[in-house]
Chains A and B, each alone.
Chain A
Amino acid sequence: MTALKLLTAALISFLPAWLLLARLVPRETTARPYVIAGYGGLIGLLVTTLIMRFLSLVDVPFSLYSLGGVALLLALAVRFSPPSWQPDAVNAVPMENQTLTRLQKGFILICLTLLASRLLALGLEAGTRPVWAWDAKQHWTKQAKVFFELRSVVPYVSLQEWLELGGKGVYTNMHPDYPIATPLLQAWTSIALGYWHDSAVNLLWPVMWLLLGLVFYSQARISGAKATIAVGATFMALSLPYLNTHVALAGYADLLMATCYLAAVAALYNWSQSRERWQLILALLAGACCLLVKNEGFYWFLSLFPGILLVKAGLRKGVLCLAALAISLLFLLWILPADMAVAGHSLEKINLGYRPDSWLPIYLSALVHDNWHFLVYLFLAALLTAPFYGQKQLPLAAVILSALGLYLALYLLTNNASGAVRFTSLNRVFLHLAPAMAFFTLTVYLAVANRRPESAQPLGG
């Protein structure tokens, strides 16, 4: 019965998005079912949180029926939407008709077995253990319990505001400005069950892991990877120890953010290659989802735009525009009021200044410790190799480098440096970027493997 309730909840979340993507993704697309399952699942989860906010706005309590009703309406709206919504399939990548050798089949089987083993280990761990991690208890799951109990979203305010208001109609915690998607999803799990269960609320994290894998695999296939390469690379991305830890010790929002950012970056890359509009839509949708997950999502969303600019304006114009934007940004930092908050951070609060002490923890975390196996070494090799294999990797490189630049700025120039020195938030924020970095590494490998003479092709237009 529990499984049935959870499956119903999953269906309510996923179905409208799956139907939408079935319309959006051209039929001829390689790995189409995986694209629909992965992106549909991810967008479906985040849309569920928007439905919950909407229900609270109109004073309808959360229940399987209320959420199911809205989901059904959305599904019907998508199903009977005008045919003109369907994309132009002219540019669609034709589905490959590959025959695999016995060796290749064996390799895929090994990878799938390893992935199944990992999912089993992580799924059982998360589903058996009650909420355990610090931030989950301090913040996310604590908020989820309130949303579940009240069957509604309630406003969270700062401690001082809560005191001033006498706590009437408002709640408080240490981070009232954090987005509420993660607690809403945990509350949704419990609403589906009908009671609060300290382990069942963790089950979303193995689902996120699965969605990350589907997104990675499907976009890898679209970018030209053979099934063997795509499944091998997906295994590598899904086996990153730190990423796995965030599934096993479920409760943090960072894995969801990592999945959203990977989905945005991977779709953006394939849009830059094929210019298919639906990929850009997916990239922007997934990028917008980042905004719903954590405050950092705003910056990761912004990091997509250098890539879009390079594709749209061409290399020369794009670089000039980026340089102009960078100068404008510096100017903006100079003139911006110190107390003006952007995505939860103000200049006053972050106390800009160089913090060289962060270099050592950044180096240790990325290149010495086993958080990422040796992904960062492969990524650096890819980054050095990319310029020699044409310009097509440059938009994606610009996106990733922008995000990494922001990451380094966060720990080297702001008071978040304490999170690096004490090894607290350092890897959590890196987790947002790691799967996208793995995808970039794969695309460079594919470029080298195919050795396309791309340098002669113009990037823009």
Chain B
Amino acid sequence: MRTILTTFLLLIFLIAKTSLATAENWSAPDFKIEIGNVVSLGRTLVLTSNPGGQILVSVPVQHLSLRDNPRVSLKFAESPPAQIFVIWRTDASQELFQKGFRSFGKSKISFDMTGIKGWNGKASSLEFGFLVQPGQQIGLLEASVYRPGISDRINEVLANWLDFKVWRPVDVNVYTGTSEFSVGPYPAQIFAAMSLALVLLYLAMRRGKSKLQSVALIVFCSWLALDSFWQLRLWRQLAETRVQYAGKTSEDKLAASEDAVFAQFAAAARQSITRPDARVFIAGMHDYQTMTSAYYLSPFNSYWHRHGPELPDAKYLQSGDYILLLRASDINYQPALSTIQLDTGTQLKVQEHMSDRLGVLLEVL
């Protein structure tokens, strides 16, 4: 028992020892403005961009070891610039290195520079570039280049797990538990390992007196801890969903949704189609546009061939058929001549019933 505990503590000590953070920090007075204008200088450096929307600040570096300090962190007072660039030179060469990142609206951002070309050796210059709207103001609080310690790493991992994005189409296929698909560590693995470690520790401590129920409780508590991230994500999403849709009628919800343009386009087309038994061909080259248009056109009897030709052979198109032709399409529509040209080269006479920025509704004559 004693040996297990000693080994465990020694392991923790070694991890902590090798993970002590080092850092180079800069606050507002340390920044030198290269591009852009200073609005005010206090604890926060407030800057405006040039007409090109650029801001560039440099910081003093003296043989800063880049490989030993693979993280760059920036902190902003309010809304951050959309794009941030880290620009540097090293002692070894005069080559100027640059790497761009997106801020995703976060006021405190850190970038992992591990493996990025040129981020090794000693830095001879270091600058931060920001791309914003022309004349836009940003408030820069501090910057740092550092080697992450244990707490930094834990914070990074937690930030990765807790980062929230509203539902994306891919979410119905996969849930990684992380902000980015291929950036780990992944929570399921960590919690599975943690459960196993705790169960083994419990079994080692209790030896012959262990109870299966206690093992089950450990597993359950680990599950609960892991699940709390997911539950939190669901509640945050629900808050967003309610802001977007709560209290609205079915039609208003469609108008508030990401599909609003397609729903409106299809609604206008539905009104222009006079016969309820009309056949409607959906033509366009973008899957999402055609699929969504076909959905909102339902319950009309529609034809949509995903991954196939946009329209069938001319012999299948009859007078009185409708074609919902999206702008993004390979079908050549000539409004002046009231014709469309199919893939096969055949020309068909059509009449335009409705036009929208998404597409047109045509009737085959």
Contact = CB atoms under 8 A, between A and B. Distances in A.
Query: A and B: real partners?
Result: yes
Interface of A: 114, 117-118, 121-122, 124-125, 128-135, 137-138, 141-142, 145-146, 148-150, 159, 162-163, 166-167, 171-174, 195-200, 229, 232, 236, 239, 241-242, 244-246, 248-249, 252, 365, 367-374, 377-378, 423-428, 445, 448-449
B82 to A, nearest CB: 27
Nearest to A419: B173
Contact of A248 (B237, B250, B298): B237
Contacts of A445: 212, 216
A446 to B, nearest CB: 10
Contact of A378 (B177, B219, B238, B292): B219
Given A162-B303, A365-B174, A137 B316 contact: no
Most chain A CB within a 10 A radius of its CB, from B173, B229, B295 = B173
Which 5 A-B pairs give the minimum distances between C-beta atoms?
A: A370-B177, A374-B192, A149-B299, A137-B295, A145-B298
Contacts of B237: 125, 248
Contacts of B231: 114, 117-118, 121, 239
Q: Do most interface residues of chain B lie in helix, strand or loop, or is the interface mixed?
A: helix
B279 interface: yes
Contacts of B106: none
A301 to B, nearest CB: 25
Contact of A371 (B174, B224, B292): B174
A311 to B, nearest CB: 27
A26 to B, nearest CB: 30
B306 interface: yes
15 contacts: A114-B231, A125-B241, A128-B242, A133-B169, A134-B169, A166-B279, A197-B250, A239-B227, A239-B231, A241-B177, A241-B230, A242-B175, A367-B189, A373-B227, A428-B173
A148 B250 CA distance: 16
Interface of B: 167, 169-178, 184, 186-189, 191-192, 195, 212-213, 216, 219-220, 222-224, 226-227, 229-231, 234-235, 237-238, 241-242, 245-246, 250, 253-254, 257, 279, 291-292, 294-295, 298-299, 301, 303-306, 308, 312, 316, 318
Contacts of A374: 188-189, 191-192, 195, 222-223, 226
Nearest to A197: B250
B173 A370 contact: no
B191 A373 contact: yes
Nearest to B192: A374
A138 B303 contact: no
B220 A232 contact: yes
B234 A142 contact: no
A141 B294 CA distance: 11
B177 A142 contact: no
A421 to B, nearest CB: 12
B114 to A, nearest CB: 21
B303 A370 contact: no
Contacts of B295: 131, 137-138, 141-142
